[in-house]
Amino acid sequence: VESFLRGNLQVKFGGRRASTQPYEYSDYNSSDEQSLTFDSYTIPEDDLELGQSRLLEVDNRVVVPAKTHLRMIVTPADVPHSWAIPSLGVKCDAVPGRSNLTSISVQREGVYYGQCSEIRGTNHAFTPIVVEAVTLKDY
């Protein structure tokens, strides 16, 4: 159990009330020892391309290698958050001032969609979460 909780890759999600969702790959270090961080924004309805889902698509997906264990740290900045992706069987709640940890094992390549399931303010419940699992070669 302990090795599963450790995970092969650690991703930190620092939820915010706004439409942006910050992520950090804390195990990825460049030559200057900085973590890889990025923001993930909901794609506005007017900017969607053919085949993209309304209220579920983001500009920057969380890309992870398939067939690996992931350790997700959820730590919100301002309001309670729930990092939930039903097709991966994960829902991790967290409140400001506290961090919560969950481990998931993504076994297949593909795109997995979820949303924050906490209702805290305008459109907060529609904050999308997108995880894309790719082959280790493509990662």
pLDDT along the chain (139 residues), means of 10: 59 69 73 75 89 88 89 83 89 88 90 82 73 86
pLDDT score of 47: 92
Judge whether 92 and 74 are in contact, CB under 8 Å. Answer: yes
Helix (H, G, I), strand (E, B) or coil at 36: strand
Alpha-carbon gap, residue 92 to 100, rounded angstroms: 7
| Domain contains 22 | yes
Alpha-carbon gap, residue 61 to 71, rounded angstroms: 17
* Structural domains in the chain (count): 1
Alpha-carbon gap, residue 99 to 74, rounded angstroms: 6
Q: Which domain, by its residues, includes 22?
A: 8-134
pLDDT score of 86: 92
CATH number of the structural domain spanning residue 66: 2.60.40.420
pTM: 0.82
pLDDT score of 1: 46
| Domain contains 139 | no
pLDDT score of 122: 64
| Domain contains 58 | yes
pLDDT score of 136: 78
